[in-house]
Structure formats: C-alpha cells, structure tokens
Structure 1
Amino acid sequence: MKKPLNMLIWQWGRRGAGPKTAVEFSKAMLSISNVKAFLSLSRQAEIVQKNRNISVDFPIKTYTTVLGYLCRVLQAPLMIYKLYHIIKRKKINIAVCTMPGPMDLVMAMALRLLKIPYIVIVHDVHPHPGDGYIFQYYLQKLLIKQSRLTVTFSKYVYKQLIAVNFVPSSQIIQGWHPPFSYCSETHKPQFVSQEIKLLNFGRLLLYKGFDLLEEALDQVTIQRPYMLRIVGQGPKSAVLDRLNKRNNVIVENRWVPEEEIGKLMQWADVVILPYREASQSGIAATALAFGKPILITNVGGLSEQFKEDDLVFICEPTTDDIAKGLDEVLQLNFPLSRQKHNADKEWQEFAEYLIKEITHKIYKS
C-alpha cells in the first residue's frame, strides 16, 4: 500500500475459531508496511481472558445467554452511536469481519453511516447438519450483501458463494485457510503407552462422520495397537456412546480451552477426520503446522486444500476406504520426522495477498 491503511478487524464470538481467526489475521496485518490494524473482540472472548498479551483496541460487551443477546439487540442504537464515534476517531479506512456472527449488522450499520467499506470472510455458505445456527446464516446473508468484498478460504466455498448469487463474482476473493498457531510447549502426555495415538478433534456433530469411523474400525486389518481419542463438544448420540464403549477409544465430550489445543496436537501421532461434508478444515491445517500426518475424506474443499501436502491420506467418505486409510496410517513408522508448517508465515502470506486484492478491487477499480 502506498497510502496508509487503517484497518478494523472484528469478530465478536466468545470461543473457538472465530476470535482465533481475528487474532491471527490482526497479527499478520501488523507485519505489513503502511497498514495499521485495530482489533475488536468480545470482552468475554476466551482467547482474551486466557492471554493477557493480546491487545484489543475495541473491546465489545456481547452476551452469554439468549436473554443477553436480546438485551444487546435492544441496545443496538446505542452501540451503533458509540461505534460510529470510535471508528471516526481512529480514522478507519476499511474493516474486515473474520467470521460472521449474530451481532455484526450493528457494526455494519456504523460503518455504513461513515461510508467505510467492509469485507466479510465467509467460512461456510450453507449450514452443516446439526449446526443449529440457521438464523445466523440469514444474518450472514444480509451482512454479505451489504459488504464491499467477500473472501473465502477455499475454491469450494468460492463456487458455492457464486451459486447463491449474494454478490457479483467480481466482489469475491478466493483465498486459503492458514493454520492456527497454538502453544507448543512440551507437556507430559495424559496417556502413556506404546500404542499409535489417533486423534479426532472438533465439534462432535454427526456430519463429522462418526458412523463411518465406527464401521471402519471394525474393518481394520493391521494388527497394531492404537488408541483413538475423540475430543470436542457436541450433543450426545448413540454412535458416540458405542464408540466410547470400545476398549481402544475414548470419547471426551467437552469444550476444549484454547491453552489445551496445542497439548492435544502434541499428544497425537495422526489426526483422523472422516467427514461426510466440509468446506475446509482449520483443524487439519493446524495438525500440519504441528507436523502431524492427517487422514481426511474427499469431501467439500478438503482435497483441494491438502492434496499437495506430503503424509496427507485422502480417502473417499465410505467405510471401506476409511478402513483402508486407517490400515495405511497404522503401518507408518513413528515417531515421524515431518516438516512443520509455519503458521505465522502462512498468515502473513494470506494477509499480503488480501491487501493486494483489496488494493486492486477497491482502491484501483
């Protein structure tokens, strides 16, 4: 950028990939000359409460319950008024929403009053089965339609966004999903054994393919001891109960705090993601950043995202193919010496790419 750019980066979720994406993106933008990044997160964000080194320029009080959300909606005019003056005082030129949420139209209105363009990073165009966020996707549609540009993390989502025709294709930027970085300190493993350690991590929803995984485990032919940990939060289900009853499977249905994710990745020998559908995977990208091989299914944008990486086993979303993939994984010689992805570098490359696209599409169009 030849002219200084004051960029507001916001994401008002409390937990998970939303605020993490905003922090990683903001950190990367700070490395670009002539770009000054201002970060806005929820005051209740886990990543802020657990890491005091994160500087939040615009902390926003959000909500923790449905009643709290309704109260914040009623206070929307006051929020818009405050945001309007803060944004004006900071001389913001452009804003980026790194993952849409239920309150983003408040920010969009403040930006619109100031005639400041904003960009939305779209992770999913359609809700996954069991997501439970149908109303949020309607709000996302409104947010996208009012945006100046939208960004996707995969070609798969890019094509979906074109198909729904929310915005012209000229306003869509196709990017990629950089890996998340987590603390990589050495921890003592919770389970000490000579078994191959398999990890399935993420939300415990049925579209993640737990039924396929259960059947595939019965078809594994390699006689080598292994332990599979399925870790994440989701509704109780019969298939998870059955998996948990197996001698070599442990299901940990719980929220995993930010500081524990690195420990989980270090524990694992292989990350197993037998999805029935997916847009892209931040979890798989993070596993590669830790130098872990991954077993994934050929759905959505996963093959596109990882087909060039070594030690990525891509199988079809069928019981037979997943079983064959597990057999391949169990024949590997551990510990593996694998080159790790540099998460910070990949976020910087993504930020630089996005700045070039913004410059071309907004400031030179």
Structure 2
Amino acid sequence: MDKSFNILVWQWGRKGAGPKIAVELSNALRSIKNLNILLSLSDRAEIIDYNPECQIGIKFKTYSSILGYLIRWIESPYWILYLIYHLKKNKVDLAICTMPGLLDMIMISALKILKIPCVVIIHDAYPHPGDGYLFQHFLQRQLIKNSDLIVTFTQYVYNQLNKRNFLSKSKFIRVWHPPLKYDYENISVSKNKNKIHLLNFGRLLPYKGFNLLNDALKLVKSDRSYIVRIVGQGPKSKVLKLLNRRKNVYVENRWVPENEIASIFEWADAIILPYEEASQSGVLAIALAFSKPVLITRVGGLMEQCNHKDLVFLCDPNPEDIAKNIEKILELPFPLKREHMDTSHEWKKMAKDLISQINEKFNFHLKLDTR
C-alpha cells in the first residue's frame, strides 16, 4: 500500500507515564513512511506545558474531580459526536490507546460507530497491591473486550491476560518497553561528591518494596558513605516514616512535575527498585535511558526489560539479597562515565515492530519503510 495510512494515538491521563508514552510512540511512528499520526491527549496533560513541540491533533476535555468525571459521562453523547467528526475529518484508519483510562469507552463508542479497528496497550493485568484503582481495572476489562487487538510490553503480562480468557490468543501481540527519555541537557545538579547517591523513584505504594528496602539497609556493610533518596507520591505509611528517620535516607512524598524528572535522575549514581511484584516499570525505563546502574528484584516482567543490559543488579525479593547487591553497587568506581541511551532509536525500533505485527494481524498491506 503506497497511499497514506492514518493512525490515531490517544491517552487521556493528565500526568505520569501515560501521556509520555503516547507522545513517544506518536513521534516514533512518524518516522515510518506513509503513516500520518494524529495524537489525542487530555487538554490538561502536564506534558503539553513542558513540550511545546508536542503535535496534538485532538485535545480531549477531561476532569480534575469526581464531579468532573461524572459530568464528562453525562456529556458523553456530545463527546462521541465530537470524536466522530475529528476521526472522519482526519480519515483515521486505525486507533491505538497507549494506556487505559477512565473515559476510553467514549472513544471506543466513536470508533465502533465508524468501524475503525482499535488496538490497546495493556500495562497491568491486575491491580497492584495498594493501587486503589479497582474501578479503572473494571473499565479496563470493558476496554479489552471491545478492542480488536491487545498489546503488552512483557511476556509476563501477556501470560496473565491469556489466563483470564478475555480474548483469543490471536488477538494478542507483544512488543517491549523502550527507555523513557527526559531532557537532561543544560542541567546543573548539586551533589555531595563524598557520598554515593542512591535513588528510589515513583509512586510510594506497598508493592514497591519499602519494607524490604528498610530491612535491607540495616544489613548493608560498606566503607563508602551513601545517601538514599526516595522521591514520589503516595499515602503516608509507617515504613516511610521509619526510612525517613534513618540518618542517610530522605523521603520526599510529593508529585514530581515532568520538568524535574531529569534533574532527579542526573543526581543519582544508581537506582534501587526492590519491588515485591511488578508487571514492568516506567521508572526502570527512565533509569535505562540515563544509563544508570539499577537494582531490581526478580519479580514480574522486570527481568524482561533488562535483558542483556549491563550494570543491572538482579536480586531475590528478600532483605539479605537486596543488601548484598547494594553493597556491590557501592563498590562500583563512581563517578561512572557513560553515554545516555539513544532512546529515539529504541522507540523507532519498537514502533516499527508494533506496526509490522498490526499490519500482519489486520492484513493492511502496509509498506513499512522508515523516512
């Protein structure tokens, strides 16, 4: 097929990895000849403020409260017509949802009316412990049942979804989670040159392994001084208080805006992720982009993300093994001189593989040459 093929990429979250993945994927897809990409984000997406070059075709009005969410559903007939107009105007041939959200069934309704096939990237088969998004996972099940093709970033999530029998195996494909790039140029970071900087970043939820980390730090024996910085947002907990009481541990329980993430990872010498369970990890994807040494536990799909990567310290999810691997990290010859990963190249590779598999499933007859 030599004519243009039009793809909608959408994700209507306001913050975090969802909009970031949508932007990265849409940019990567634009490197493939004959593809025209239409990006749809929330009108309140944080990434818009920090990425002026973000090419958005459809801004969708989302919400910031439960009342706002209910109003959007009351208004859904209007928004379905609004989306139908834009989908027809842009002659969309295929739609890709990069991460499920609470309003996606409005888009699904518009797509079904126009008989446009829909692909959904699923990141988690089940809610994480302490996640608190049970209703979102109920809506995710509806999204899966009403989609034409499901994509996962790990075999682990792929296997979990297959066990739930939502769709036939022919309706699943798997790619991989590329590193997440954040702008690190012209960043000046204040560091204590006499200490090794260890970072734990992300949502402060129980499954992230803070109990394991707290117990592991009691066992760490090293001649090198180090600081542990825990940065992210989550509910207050006893273990976070215990960690914050340690002389060399600092807990920053707050939302981290898009434009601050790069400086936090540049501050770190190594990343510590002692998860008790996981599907895959956006934080790990950032750590790999910054070419930082990273500690991960052998749970979920984390090992798949780190396949063949150097300076990855794998450990069992217990305090003793985590402590031993922290000691190994502290023995590294810091500061390390390492180039940041070419994330653009990695996203383009994944995007081409994704479209190649979609092309095969739907028999679109696309020619997938890069620009």
The TM-score by the shorter chain falls in which range? over 0.9
Q: Structure 1: where are the runs of 5+ without partners?
A: none
Corresponding residue of 2:130: 130
Shift of residue 289 of structure 1?
A: 1.2
Q: Per-residue displacement from partner, 1:225-255 (whole Å, max 9, x unpaired)?
A: 0011000000000100111111111000000
Corresponding residue of 2:175: 175
Q: Structure 2: where are the runs of 5+ without partners?
A: 366-371
Shift of residue 281 of structure 1?
A: 1.4
Corresponding residue of 2:340: 340
Corresponding residue of 1:309: 309
Distance (whole Å) between structure 2 residues aligned to residue 78 and residue 326 of structure 1: 54
Shift of residue 50 of structure 1?
A: 2.6
Shift of residue 341 of structure 1?
A: 2.1
Q: Per-residue displacement from partner, 1:29-69 (whole Å, max 9, x unpaired)?
A: 11100110000000000001232221210001100001100
Distance (whole Å) between structure 2 residues aligned to residue 341 and residue 171 of structure 1: 32
SS in 1 for 2:271: strand
Corresponding residue of 1:318: 318
Distance (whole Å) between structure 2 residues aligned to residue 176 and residue 58 of structure 1: 27
Distance (whole Å) between structure 2 residues aligned to residue 76 and residue 314 of structure 1: 47
SS in 2 for 1:162: helix
Verify the 8 A CA contact 1:271 1:292 in the aligned structure 2.
yes
User: Is residue 68 of structure 2 the alignment partner of residue 73 of structure 1?
Assistant: no
Q: Per-residue displacement from partner, 1:139-186 (whole Å, max 9, x unpaired)?
A: 111111111111001110111111111111111111110011101124
Distance (whole Å) between structure 2 residues aligned to residue 49 and residue 307 of structure 1: 34
Distance (whole Å) between structure 2 residues aligned to residue 309 and residue 199 of structure 1: 19
Corresponding residue of 2:275: 275
Q: Per-residue displacement from partner, 1:84-143 (whole Å, max 9, x unpaired)?
A: 111011100000000000000000000000000010000001000111110100111111
Q: Letter of the aligned partner of 2:56 in structure 1?
A: V
Quote the sequence identity (%).
53
More divergent stretch after superposition (80-89 vs 189-198)? 189-198
Corresponding residue of 1:361: 361
Shift of residue 5 of structure 1?
A: 1.2
Q: Per-residue displacement from partner, 1:300-357 (whole Å, max 9, x unpaired)?
A: 0111221311110000000110011111011111111335321111111111001111
Corresponding residue of 1:35: 35
Corresponding residue of 1:15: 15
More divergent stretch after superposition (261-270 vs 43-52)? 43-52
Describe how 1:1-365 pairs up with structure 2 within 5 A.
2-363=2-363
Q: Letter of the aligned partner of 2:311 in structure 1?
A: L
Distance (whole Å) between structure 2 residues aligned to residue 204 and residue 364 of structure 1: 43
Superposed CA RMSD: 1.2
Q: Letter of the aligned partner of 1:350 in structure 2?
A: M
Distance (whole Å) between structure 2 residues aligned to residue 188 and residue 105 of structure 1: 44
Q: Per-residue displacement from partner, 1:190-212 (whole Å, max 9, x unpaired)?
A: 44342000000000001100000
Q: Report how many residues are paired.
A: 365
Verify the 8 A CA contact 1:178 1:282 in the aligned structure 2.
no
Normalising to structure 1: TM-score of the pair? 0.98
Q: Letter of the aligned partner of 1:132 in structure 2?
A: G
Distance (whole Å) between structure 1 residues aligned to residue 110 and residue 101 of structure 2: 16
Distance (whole Å) between structure 2 residues aligned to residue 53 and residue 186 of structure 1: 18
Verify the 8 A CA contact 1:293 1:311 in the aligned structure 2.
yes
More divergent stretch after superposition (99-108 vs 297-306)? 297-306
Shift of residue 274 of structure 1?
A: 0.3
4+ residue stretches of structure 1 with deviation over 6 A? none
Normalising to structure 2: TM-score of the pair? 0.96
SS in 2 for 1:59: strand
SS in 2 for 1:179: coil
